[in-house]
Amino acid sequence: MNVDISAALLERDDEHAAQTPARIESDAQAIEAAQRLANAFAQEAALRDRERRLPWAELDAFVASGLWTITVPREFGGPGVRNGTLAEVTATIAAADGSLGQIPQNHFYALEVLRVGGSVEQQRFFYERVLAGERFGNALAEIGHKDFLRRTRLSRDAQGWRIDGRKFYCTGALYAHWIPTLVVREEDGRDVTYLVFVPRSAQGVTITDDWDGFGQRVTGSGSVQFDGVRVEPQWIVPFQTSFERATTIGPLAQIIHAAIDLGQARGAFDAALRFVRERSRPWIDARVERAADDPLTIAQFGDLYARLSAAEALVRRAGRYVDAAQAAPGEQSVAEASIAVAEARALTTTIALDAGSRLFELAGTAATLDGLGLDRFWRNARTHTLHDPVRWKYHAIGNFYLNDALPPRHGAL
């Protein structure tokens, strides 16, 4: 798949124009809305994955529910929910459809960058856009380049500011109204990093639907090209300075990733339960009538559920640490939040992969039939968990407790 869809996207502008979302008033209301949406999203999740059917209607419903507004601070008219609630909403959607669970991750990441580093005027402007139903994608990484910030640059000429460069892994850009883009600009002999909110419809923006990973198939994680794209100064938000001090940008990004993996694990576990109860045959040596009565199968489900519950508890705990660090950011509070989230991610990574794999071990050969689409749980988990190597989570955790070493400041921890 390698399709330049810029023209098609522009044609969709009227059909998918921003509509004012429902107002979310509380954490409980956010979770209830996510549960309702998940029930609907699950119905055709396997079909969307198999046919790579882009979820335009589902995303419109997702935004209309108000859930894309939930991290807008209360002082700017949003719900300002707790981070544990943000994680639970994400996990609930991801259990139904892993791609739909991931698409808003960078939307919430951009909102946190804005909260930490944006001016009050920038915050007010972009929070209002979100409350009006607009969604953010991302253009952060550049494939095949060791220093992924070097090739997309912000420069100034007689006409004003412009961006030139090419990005990949641009999850959500396909569906976005704005594409927050990492750029560098030379200042005093060194490159300084900014996050620029670029309108999707700006002249010189080309979005190419060339994501062909075997998992997370409809996240819209393709390429974005910027050719002399003009941007306004009020769209340029400091980024590098937000990592020169202790902030919660990294932990916030990572707890959403943990929640996506948690949701994948829940989805696989629930699918295994249904299949074993309704369709699997017992192994002959078990000498039982139903697969659900096989004592070894029962023990395997017990092991999976215990570790899934532990992962859920670590994500909830991490949410409280991130809340505390946002309320009182400092070297220690942010480090503790980063480590708590790393602990959660270590476990959600392993349980998502294990649940997706053991689904087949417990359900049996019939579960591999292509029309069922049960392989999507493992494929999605394997693809998403590659965002950051889990081995470095364990290193950061061990170094923190053994050597009192604070974790590095970046978006991957």
pLDDT in tens, 142-201: 876 555 445 799 999 999 999 999 999 999 999 999 999 999 999 998 999 999 999 999
Cβ contacts of 196 within 8 Å, gap of 6 or more: 154, 163, 180, 181, 183, 231, 235, 236, 237
Cα separation values, 62 from 33, 126, 200, Å: 9, 19, 19
Letter string b/e over residues 331-340, b meaning 16 or more CB atoms within 10 A of that residue's CB: eebbbbbbbb
225 falls in which pLDDT band (50, 70, 90)? very high
Q: How far apart are CA 94 and CA 105, in angstroms?
A: 11
Q: How far apart are CA 332 and CA 134, in angstroms?
A: 35
Q: What's the number of CA atoms in the CB half-sphere (13 Å) around residue 248?
A: 28
DSSP string computed for 230-276: EE-GGGEEE-GGGGSS--SHHHHHHHHHHHHHHHHHHHHHHHHHHHH
Summarize pLDDT for 121-151 with one digit per residue, the tens.
Answer: 999 999 999 999 999 999 999 876 555 445 7
3-class SS of residue 399: helix
Q: How far apart are CA 302 and CA 296, in angstroms?
A: 10
Q: How far apart are CA 338 and CA 108, in angstroms?
A: 17
Summarize pLDDT for 274-333 with one digit per residue, the tens.
Answer: 999 999 999 999 999 999 999 999 999 999 999 999 999 999 999 999 999 999 999 999
Contact 41, 94 (CB under 8 A): no
Mean pLDDT, the chain, as a whole number?
Answer: 94
- Looking at residues 381-405, what average pLDDT do you find? 96
Domains of the chain: 3-131 (1.10.540.10), 153-240 (2.40.110.10), 245-403 (1.20.140.10)
Summarize pLDDT for 48-92 with one digit per residue, the tens.
Answer: 999 999 999 999 999 999 999 999 999 999 999 999 999 999 999
375 falls in which pLDDT band (50, 70, 90)? very high
